[in-house]
């Protein structure tokens, strides 16, 4: 059986917990060969983002072309894309190479509150990239920003998913992690809604959850799963990574992408915080 592959198009997190780094860890943990196109370099740690340098659209395009011209791409995951020009460059390249699966995580704000997309680029996401996506995976704040209005419960999530589906993606997954109670995610295919419910895990170490979930969906699509099953498997994987999340640094620690492999290798950490002091 040929190795399955996935390409992440996203920003770099120097702290290693989100972005390109989280995506590649997720791909590897799920048995998929990962490739990357870096759209931005962030100065970032567990406490927040202190600086961002966007990569030029020309270099972004060149990275995409370098991968597609040489290696079969089974799925694409798109994360942080900050500018209209970058969004247009990615859309043009994906229209040219036509990958079978595209998972788009509309990253807008870091957990620390730092904006990761320019205001004018938000509309460009819907215009240029949503129509190319197999699945888009907004969380509650992102869905609110994209469609307007407040989302207070599952019924509001369904309405937001329907509104977002009109932009052209085949599926919309509205993630409910920001609401109280059990985590309920809503998947909409244009006809019916599918709810995924999981117990809320009590940990503050949640850095990289959105990146990890969307990358896991891409990995499972690359491996041949249907969309609903890919979402279900990705949520199971993320729940395991969250349940083994650990303190690192002085802020919000990362999920543990390789928790299962560490367990099998007999590596068991005691949760002691790792930081400079």
For residue 132 the two structure tokens come to 């190319």
Residue 208 appears among annotated catalytic residues: yes
Radius of gyration of the chain (CA): 17
Residue 175 appears among annotated catalytic residues: yes
Ranges of beta strands (E only) in the chain are 5-13, 33-45, 48-54, 75-78, 102-104, 135-136, 171-174, 183-188, 193-198
Pick the catalytic residue: 209, 212, 235, 253? 209
Pick the catalytic residue: 79, 211, 212, 251? 211
**Distances, alpha carbon 111 to alpha carbons 57, 90, 215, 216, 256, in Å:** 26, 25, 18, 20, 17
* Contact present, 36 and 65 (Cβ < 8 Å): no
For residue 255 the two structure tokens come to 């999920």
What is the chain's pLDDT, residue by residue, as a tens digit (277 residues)?
A: 889 999 999 999 999 999 999 999 999 999 999 999 999 999 999 999 999 999 999 999 999 999 999 999 999 999 999 999 999 999 999 999 999 999 999 988 766 566 677 788 888 999 999 999 999 999 999 999 899 889 999 999 999 999 999 999 999 999 987 776 778 999 999 999 999 988 887 788 989 999 999 999 999 999 999 999 999 999 999 999 998 988 999 999 999 999 988 988 888 764 555 555 4
Residue 266 appears among annotated catalytic residues: no
> Cα–chain-centroid distance for residue 7?
12
Pick the catalytic residue: 79, 208, 251, 253? 208
Residue 16 appears among annotated catalytic residues: no
Give CA–CA dist 199/180, Å, rounded: 11
Q: Residue 199, exposed/middle/buried by CB under 10 A (0-12, 13-18, 19+)?
A: exposed
* Contact present, 142 and 108 (Cβ < 8 Å): yes
**Distances, alpha carbon 222 to alpha carbons 119, 171, 234, in Å:** 32, 16, 12
Q: Nearest 5°: phi and psi at 42?
A: -110, 145
What pLDDT was estimated at residue 66? 98
Residue 193's DSSP bridge partners are 188
Return the domain boundaries, the chain.
Answer: 5-264
Handedness of CA 87, 11, 24, 143 (dihedral sign): negative
Residue 134 appears among annotated catalytic residues: no
Pick the catalytic residue: 175, 235, 251, 253? 175
Pick the catalytic residue: 39, 60, 206, 212? 206
Paired sense of beta strands 135-136 and 193-198, if any: unpaired
Pick the catalytic residue: 17, 126, 177, 210? 210
What pLDDT was estimated at residue 277? 46
**How many C-beta atoms surround the C-beta of residue 191 within 10 A?**
6
Give CA–CA dist 219/253, Å, rounded: 23
**Which helix (H) or strand (E) element contains residue 61?**
helix 57-68
What CATH code is assigned to 5-264?
3.40.1190.20
């Amino acid at each position: 059986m040929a190795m399955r592959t996935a390409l992440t198009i996203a920003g770099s997190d120097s702290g290693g917990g989100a972005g390109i780094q989280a995506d590649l860890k997720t791909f590897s943990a799920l048995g998929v060969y990962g490739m990357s196109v870096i759209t931005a370099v962030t100065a970032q740690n567990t406490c927040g983002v202190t600086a961002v340098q966007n990569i030029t659209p020309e270099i972004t395009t060149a990275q995409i072309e370098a991968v597609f011209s040489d290696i079969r791409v089974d799925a694409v995951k798109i994360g942080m894309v900050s500018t209209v020009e970058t969004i247009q460059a990615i859309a043009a390249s994906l229209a040219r190479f036509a990958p079978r699966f595209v998972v788009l995580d509309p990253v807008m704000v870091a957990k620390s509150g730092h904006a990761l997309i320019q205001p004018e680029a938000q509309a460009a996401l819907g215009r240029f990239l949503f129509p190319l996506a197999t699945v888009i995976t907004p969380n509650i704040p992102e869905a609110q920003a994209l469609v307007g209005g407040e989302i207070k419960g599952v019924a509001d999530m369904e309405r937001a998913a329907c509104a977002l589906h009109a932009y052209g993606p085949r599926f919309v997954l509205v993630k409910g992690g920001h609401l109280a109670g059990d985590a309920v995610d809503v998947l909409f295919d244009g006809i019916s809604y599918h709810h995924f419910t999981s117990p809320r895990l009590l940990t503050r170490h949640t850095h990289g959850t959105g990146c990890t979930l969307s990358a896991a969906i891409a990995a499972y699509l690359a491996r041949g799963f249907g969309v609903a099953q890919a979402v279900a498997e990705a949520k199971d994987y993320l729940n395991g990574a969250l349940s083994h999340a650990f303190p690192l640094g002085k802020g919000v620690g990362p999920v543990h992408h390789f928790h299962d492999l560490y367990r099998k290798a007999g590596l068991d950490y005691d949760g002691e915080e790792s930081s400079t002091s």
